[in-house]
Amino acid sequence: MIKVSVIIPTYNNKEDKLNRIVESLNKQTLSSNEFEVLFIDEGSDDFSAFSRLKEKTREYTHYQVHRISPSGWGSRPRNKGTKVAEGEYVFFCDDDDTIFPQALERMYNFAKDNDLDVVNPKVIRTKGWGWGWEQFKENVVGAETIGVQAMGPMTVPKLYRRTFIEQHNLYFYEGDKVWWEDVMFSCLVFSKKPRIGILADYPVYHWREQNHSAGFGKDLEYKWEQINNVASSFKENLEGEDLDYMITHWYRTRVLGALRGNFHKKSKDTQQIEFDKAMEWKDRFVDSRIVERLDTRHKIIDYLLGKGRLDFVRKFSQSKAETTARSYLRNLAFEEGSLIITTDATVTYDEEKIVNLNGSPNEVQIDCEEEIKSVLPSTLLYMNELDSKGNQYSPSIKGRFTRTTWEVQDVIDSKFHFDQHDSYFNVRGELTFRLTLDDFIQDYDDAHQPWDLSTKFNYMDLGAHRAIASKQNFKKAAIINGNTYVVYKNKSELVSIDLNSIVHNFLAVATLNLDAIQNREGLILIPIENVYAYGQSEVSYIASIYNDKTEAFIDSKASIIVDGGSAYLQIDNVNNLKGNCKIEIALGEKSHAFEVTI
């Protein structure tokens, strides 16, 4: 039985990317006789690419390659794949991305266990910390009751029950090329009232963002045509709260979003075009209900847009452009197999000057030039409850190689401190949290990479999601449940944790007490000091041993053993060598060599 059909559009594939996606598919824990892979080649004009695809998949009986005439984008290949698929469920994937080892098995089991028509799985991006942050906090069954946001972030990679797609005649829009077809398809699917589940406890898909929007934004007329098309599709397929939600989201992120941030740095011509197009969009799609859903900062941009004040929008975009909140490490300790970490952060201008907020914590005034304030209604001069709804100071981690970001939910204490002055105040945060990395290790790669630490700091309309920095150089070693740790300040002056000696040699940070060496029936035992040891474990490594009486290194085995809060290194002395010996041990991507007298 074919449980899942993986549908992959491809065009002029590159060998390295093809190898990467095939490798990730071949690592699936779902049996190869339970899923099929359908590559839909969209008439590659480089025939060697099609030939390479055929050759690469030839040896796998569960792979198929179909070739269709070109349309210039991914919708038609996805529709073709759906038509020829035999799986109970279909999963859409791009050829330059990858999926994680348990992806298909986890999604299928989640769908079957909960009778789902759609599984919206955790998708991670190569860049940044916070994408999908709100959508993938926890598993949700029956997520359709949340509303259309249950389909968010509305990217292509989702698992769909094939009969549901067929029953409702669902397909990706074909014809002239459009942008955001994934958003339109997600809303179309939602309009047919599927049973939806959000799978957030495992990273299913790595979206590498390497091709699809590289040229987007250069043709402003085309860009705004596409923004209008998407909004029209919302009105066609959604209604009520769901329609208002998507129009508000699109207005805030794509329309008003084009007028904030670095808007003041754009050319005068670009500013005028973006402003005029945003006015047209507002007139066409926005009413008072949508405006009421905005936070104060976006309400101000909306108001200035409605008044035609491009000059003030330009100045307003500059007022928050350089603000940030970088966290710094204050304390780090090991406790019961976890790290206890304390950080603090202050809102600054580019990490140099502390930001002064006007008013008081109970009545925060808008920060902008007086001439802008003079044209605003009084209701827009102060922050409101909606602005404070997102206030938080919370921790997260990211696998450096897997790129998977997780919120760390074991927060011991998180609070804001306010320093009040006559007419202004400053805000800083203090955070203490418990990080148990065992909770985030699900695949081999998770335990063999560095992890980087960050915090999400939001206060009113100020904030940042950034890596934790350290002002002091440090390295700390630990062994926790069989995994070696080196916690350190990296080259970018940020805090990282290296698991199992991928970038740092664990035994170069911990200390071998060579003065306390013991020999026991062909075993060499050396205490490991300067290390936090937790749990009971024994992990083996490849080793070799040599002295001047042997002609070559003798293959051996070493083990790092933890018991009763202590750790020691054990080496098999297979030939019972004596005297001065040299020992080498392979640790992850590193090696450690030392000399002992036996």
For the segment 131-147, what is each residue's pLDDT rounded down to a tens digit?
788 889 999 999 999 99
**Domain containing residue 573:** 506-597
Q: Provide the number of structural domains found in the chain.
A: 4
Determine the distance from the C-alpha atom of residue 157 to the mean position of all C-alpha atoms in its chain, rounded to a whole number: 15
Closest CA relative to residue 258, chosen from 211, 230, 223: 223
Pairwise CA distance, residues 486 & 334, whole Å: 12
* Per-residue pLDDT, 217: 57
463-482: average pLDDT = 96
Q: Is the pLDDT of residue 8 over 80?
A: yes
Closest to 315 measured CA to CA, from 381, 348, 252, 271: 271
Cβ distance 393 to 416 under 8 Å?
Answer: yes
Residues 150 and 48 in one domain: yes
The answer to the question of residue 375 being in a domain is no
pTM for the model: 0.92
550 vs 371, higher pLDDT: 371
Distance CA 273, CA 286 (A): 19
Query: In sequence order, which ranges of 307-427 are alpha helices (DSSP H)?
Result: 310-318, 370-373, 385-388
Q: d(Cα 296, Cα 278) in Å, to the nearest integer?
A: 18
Helix spans in 192-295 (H): 220-237, 240-250, 268-285, 288-292
Residue-level pLDDT at 273: 96
Do 299 and 391 fall into the same domain? no
* The pLDDT of residue 523 is above 80: yes
Residue 476 lies in a domain: yes
Kindly indicate the confidence band of residue 197, based on its pLDDT and cuts at 50, 70 and 90.
very high
Backbone CA torsion sign across 297, 298, 301, 306: negative
pLDDT in tens, 525-543: 999 999 999 999 999 999 9
CATH number of the domain to which 478 belongs: 2.60.40
In a domain, 441, yes or no: yes
Look up residue 412 and give its amino acid.
Answer: I
How distant is the alpha carbon of residue 170 from its chain centre?
29
Judgement on whether residues 331 and 419 belong to the same structural domain of the protein? yes
- DSSP 8-class letter at 502: S
Q: Is the pLDDT of residue 213 over 90?
A: no
Report the distance separating Cα 199 and Cα 139, nearest Å. Answer: 5
Higher per-residue pLDDT: 214 or 357? 357
Q: What is the pLDDT of residue 115?
A: 98
The yes-or-no verdict on residue 168 having pLDDT over 90 is yes
Both 242 and 102 in a single domain? no
Residue 373 inside a domain? The answer is no
User: What per-residue confidence (pLDDT) applies to 23?
Assistant: 96
pLDDT at 152: 94
User: Is pLDDT at 470 greater than 90 in this prediction?
Assistant: yes
CA 204 to chain centre: 11
337 and 422 both lie in a single domain: yes
pLDDT of residue 134: 85
More confident residue, 334 or 384: 334
For residue 380, being part of any structural domain is answered with no
Examine the pLDDT at 483 and tell me if it is beyond 80.
yes
Indicate if the pLDDT at residue 468 is higher than 60: yes
> Same structural domain for residues 303 and 426?
no
Distance CA(402)–CA(482), nearest Å, equals 21
The token pair at 421 is 């002055």
Residue 365, domain member (yes or no): no
Same domain, 524 and 558: yes
Any domain includes 213: no
pLDDT confidence of residue 70 = 80
Q: Are residues 141 and 49 in the same domain?
A: yes
pLDDT of residue 216: 54
Averaged pLDDT score across all residues of the chain = 93
Region 192-221 average pLDDT? 82
Torsions phi, psi of 376, nearest 5? -90, 145
Query: Is pLDDT above 80 for 585?
Result: yes
Note the pLDDT of residue 214: 43
pLDDT of amino acid 590: 97
Convert 500-528 to b/e letters by CB count within 10 Å (16 or more is b).
bbbbbbbbbbbebeeeebeeeeeebebbb
User: How many Cβ atoms are within 10 Å of 119's Cβ, its own excluded?
Assistant: 24
Residue 377, in any domain of the structure: no
Question: Is residue 3's pLDDT more than 50?
Answer: yes
Q: Looking at the structure, do residues 296 and 441 belong to the same domain, yes or no? A: no
pLDDT (tens digit, 9 = 90+) per residue, 313-364?
A: 999 988 776 788 999 999 999 999 999 999 999 999 888 899 999 999 999 9
* 463 in the same domain as 536: no
Quote the pLDDT of residue 258.
Answer: 95
pLDDT in tens, 277-308: 999 999 999 999 999 999 999 999 999 999 99
pLDDT number for residue 367:
87
Q: Verify that 345 and 280 share a domain, yes or no.
A: no
For 218-229, how does the pLDDT look when each residue is reduced to its tens digit (9 = 90+)?
789 999 999 999
Q: In which band, very low, low, confident or very high, does the pLDDT at 376 lie, cut at 50, 70 and 90?
A: very high
* pLDDT attached to residue 210: 56
Q: Percent of the chain, pLDDT > 90? A: 80
Q: Which residue among 480, 498, 516 closes a domain?
A: 498
Residue 461 reports pLDDT greater than 90: no
> Could you say which of 450, 471, 498 is where a domain stops?
498
Mean pLDDT on 471-496: 98
Final residue in a domain of this structure, among 207, 228, 244: 207
Same structural domain for residues 36 and 176? Answer: yes
